[in-house]
Amino acid sequence: MTKTMIGVIGGSGIYDIDGLQDATWQSVESPWGAPSDQILTGTLDGVPMAFLPRHGRGHVHSPTTVPYRANIDALKRLGVTDVISVSACGSFREEYAPGHFVVVDQFIDRTFAREKSFFGSGCVAHVSVAHPTCPRLGDACYAAGQAAGITIHKGGTYLAMEGPQFSTLAESKMYREQWGADVIGMTNMPEAKLAREAELCYASIAMVTDYDSWHPDHGEVDVTEIIKTLMGNADKGRALVRGLPALLGADRAPCPHGCDRALEFAILTAPEARDPALMQKLDAVAGRMLTASS
């Protein structure tokens, strides 16, 4: 049995969390560059936690420039086992209304200007992301949301767009009507893919802030309205997070869905053909596999 450490990546409007015992902002160095910000560490109900504001305090990183690899690597380096992403999103479904939360379980990745893998020339790996989120962790988020009195929906497909501009009306209608997406945001990809490569369980909570641009009664997306809704949502997001340690517990059984073993059988490059410099960078993300197989 290993120990649980919960990592929370806070999106727009969530730049800290409260209630942590021994809370300290720590700098974490990563061979993948500087993370978005320092990481707030502490303990909640006896479970260690690490909080990272995705865009940095003061909202300095755009969805394209968020250092996704450094963020996931830094959380892994700190000992995080389970990552919860909390994000602002537009909704493609009438019944997923602004103020509601959605436990996302699928993604359509339309991002194109980001580094999407820790692996590459010198160490090639292919992990499965058929089921990109962890059902055990998602269920805990859903239960924590319900216990916090939040209107929360279980399951939804998140369309990750490059941004930073919002969608055109034609795109919004296509994503909703032809592609069957439920919510839209700009940040959960490649974050979810990288978490899988790093063998971290990953769950995503979408906080609905708007109806994107498709809804005939709601006009186009307006960032002022989004921020207003976010301010109401942010406290709910923090309440959900506060409920998680009690639900997950300090002792952690292996993930029944295999998220924490995702690299087994994924690395193709022969030990003697691997690039030593890349191997060094992979020490945290893939350390477990690299010591076992080389």
Ligand X SMILES: CSC[C@H]1O[C@H](OP(=O)(O)O)[C@H](O)[C@@H]1O
Ligand Y SMILES: Nc1ncnc2[nH]cnc12
Q: Considering the rule CB under 6 A, would residue 10 count as an interface residue with ligand Y? A: no
Q: Is 212 noted as a catalytic residue in this protein? A: yes
Residue selected from 171, 210, 248, 286 as contacting ligand Y according to rule CB under 6 A: 210
Q: Where do we find the tokens 């209107």?
A: 151
Nearest approach, Cβ of residue 222 and ligand X (Å): 10
Nearest CA among 54, 58, 65 for reference residue 163: 65
Among 29-37, 72-80, 209-217, 250-258, the segment contacting ligand Y (CB under 6 A): 209-217
Q: Which is nearer to ligand X, 226 or 290 (CB)?
A: 226
106 binds, among ligand Y, ligand X, none (CB under 5 to 8 A by kind): none
Residues at the site binding ligand X, with contacts judged by CB under 6 A: 11-12, 54-55, 63, 87-88, 163, 185-187, 223, 226
**Catalytic site residue from 210, 217, 251, 275:** 210
| Residue 9 makes contact with ligand Y by CB under 6 A | no
d(CA 232, CA 235): 6
Of 158-177, which residues contact ligand Y (CB under 6 A)?
A: 161, 166
The binder of 212, among ligand X, ligand Y, none, by C-beta within 5 to 8 A per type, is ligand Y
Structure tokens at 270: 């022969």
187 binds, among ligand X, ligand Y, none (CB under 5 to 8 A by kind): ligand X
Cα–Cα distance for residue pair 151/109, rounded to 1 Å: 26
Sign of CA pseudo-dihedral 140, 146, 148, 153? positive
Q: Which helix (H) or strand (E) holds 173?
A: helix 169-173
Q: What is the dihedral of CA 127, 132, 133, 134, to 10 degrees?
A: -40
Q: How far apart are CA 266 and CA 120, in angstroms?
A: 12
Contact 28, 78 (CB under 8 A): yes
Question: Is residue 131 marked as binding?
Answer: no
Q: Which range touches ligand Y (CB under 6 A), out of 37-45, 102-110, 125-133, 182-190? A: 182-190
The whole-angstrom separation of Cα 79 and Cα 198 is 11
Binding site listing for phosphate: 12, 54-55, 87-88, 187
Active-site residues: which are they?
210, 212
